[in-house]
Structure 1
Amino acid sequence: MPLSDRYLTICRDPDSEEVLARDGDLEAHSILQRAGFVPVHRLHETYHRAPIGLPRDEETGLATEAVARLRAAGYHVDCDADFDTSHRPLRWQVLGASVAHLAERIRQATSTGEAAEILTELTAPCDGILDAVGHILIAAAEFHDGLGTDSAPYTARRLRYLAEENLRVIHTDLVHTRNDLADQHAPHPGRTECTQEVPAGERERSAVCACPPPPRALPVPPPPVAGGPRR
């Protein structure tokens, strides 16, 4: 990871008076957003700002909390004096980390049964992850039903569409994938566990296991010779 990604600035812009956070990697951006900052995506950069309409003292508190969380995570933060703090809050494992762990388990799976078991955590009909995401989307839609702003009805409809249409397509496809894997009962040919045993009929005396040799890379053909008239 480049050292520049471990460095951020959180300052009040002298022209706009906005509290802005710049630089950092995706983990830093996640910390900023959990502290209350709003991401702003531009053509050449992504930065974060305090929410619109906050009183100045709340902006200061939000920025100070962000500085504390970032420094607790090992980031170097250059900030205004008003935002500086020696507080270092404890770091808790975020919910997304436990879900992302399923990806690592799939990468380590050695059989179709193992992969199917992991995908079941996503597709289970009552308490699977996708089912929970659907409940969250519907709850967010219900929240917007009574919000009273001009855009709230549209947002509520959009959230329900995501839950009832887009998420349903993803869920259906993953269920078929999970069921297909569950029916195969086969080891993954590229991830077979090594038994460290040599079969009796092995011809090579130097062999230490029964694993097949790695696939041989085909030679790359030379680039074509440019045609042209001979002198």
Structure 2
Amino acid sequence: MALAHRILTIRRDPHSGEVLARGGDPEAHSLLERSGFVPVVRRHETYHRLPTGLDQDEEIRLATRAVARLQTVGYDLDTDPVFATERREPHYLSLGDQVRHLAVRIREAESTEEVADALTELTATHDGILAALTKVLHTAADFLQDLGHPADPHTAARLRHLADERLHVLASDLRHVRNDLADRQAVHPHRAPCPQEVAGDEREKSASCPCPAPARIPTTPSAPAAAPPAPAGRRR
């Protein structure tokens, strides 16, 4: 990531009066959003702002908390003096990072069993990630249903549709992949350790291990042998 992406500004805009955060990389954007900021995506830029309707004390509190969190993980900040703080906040592994670690497990897997184990965290019927996400969507829909805005029931219905139709299809397909891998009990041909030998059922007598030969470790060249003495000439 470029050094420029480790620099952010958090200032009150003199024209709109909004507290705006600009700059940073995706990790910084996640920290801003977890600190209460709202992403704004424009055609030529993306920035973050605090929610509308906050009083000034709450704006200062949220912006100062964002500064503390960003400084903890090493970002350089240019802020209004009222947002500056020497405080640091502990940085914990987010739920998203924990889920993303499944990709690391799959990337390092050598067998179908290892990948099936990782996918099980997504597809487990009772406490898998997709089952939990379905529950979150339904619970959010219940909250919105009678919140009072005319569009809320429609939004609630949309969330239930996503949970029951779209997410259900995703979960069903992933379970099929997971179960297929669990049944195959196979080692990935390009990730298994090389046995350094020819397969026992190989018919060709000239077959050899297909893996490239290990790189030779360079040795220090020995000193050249001394040249033989020149033959002595005749004496006159």
Matched, 1:54 2:57: no
Cα distance in 1 for residues equivalent to 2:118 and 2:199: 36
Cα distance in 1 for residues equivalent to 2:183 and 2:89: 48
Name the CA shift for 1:211/1:129 in 2 (closer, same or farther; >3 Å): farther
Query: Cα deviations across residues 44-97 of structure 1 (Å, max 9, x unaligned)?
Result: 111000001100111111111111110111000100011011101111111111
Unaligned runs of 5+ in 2: 214-236
Report the residue type matching 1:157 in the other structure.
Answer: A
Name the CA shift for 1:28/1:200 in 2 (closer, same or farther; >3 Å): closer
Name the CA shift for 1:107/1:200 in 2 (closer, same or farther; >3 Å): closer
Q: 2:158 is matched with which residue?
A: 158
Report SS of the residue matched to 1:52.
coil
Cα distance in 2 for residues equivalent to 1:62 and 1:107: 38
Identity among equivalent pairs (%): 55
Q: 2:167 is matched with which residue?
A: 167
Matched, 1:36 2:36: yes
Q: 1:78 is matched with which residue?
A: 78
Cα deviation for residue 211 of structure 1 reads: 5.8
Query: Cα deviations across residues 180-216 of structure 1 (Å, max 9, x unaligned)?
Result: 1112111101111235x55699979xx9xx56349xx
Q: Quick check: which has more Rg, 1 or 2? A: 2
Report the residue type matching 1:212 in the other structure.
Answer: C
Q: 1:14 is matched with which residue?
A: 14
The TM-score with structure 1 as length reference comes to: 0.85
Name the CA shift for 1:144/1:51 in 2 (closer, same or farther; >3 Å): same
- Return 138-147 or 29-38, whichever deviates more: 138-147
Q: 2:180 is matched with which residue?
A: 180
Cα distance in 2 for residues equivalent to 1:200 and 1:106: 27
Cα distance in 2 for residues equivalent to 1:142 and 1:200: 60
Q: 1:217 is matched with which residue?
A: none
Name the CA shift for 1:43/1:211 in 2 (closer, same or farther; >3 Å): same
Aligned structure 1 segments of 4 or more residues deviating by more than 4 angstroms: 197-204
Unaligned runs of 5+ in 1: 215-231
Q: 1:212 is matched with which residue?
A: 211
Report SS of the residue matched to 1:8.
strand
**Any conservation in 1 of the 2:194–2:211 contact (CA below 8 Å)?**
no
Cα distance in 1 for residues equivalent to 2:129 and 2:22: 33
Cα distance in 1 for residues equivalent to 2:33 and 2:199: 60
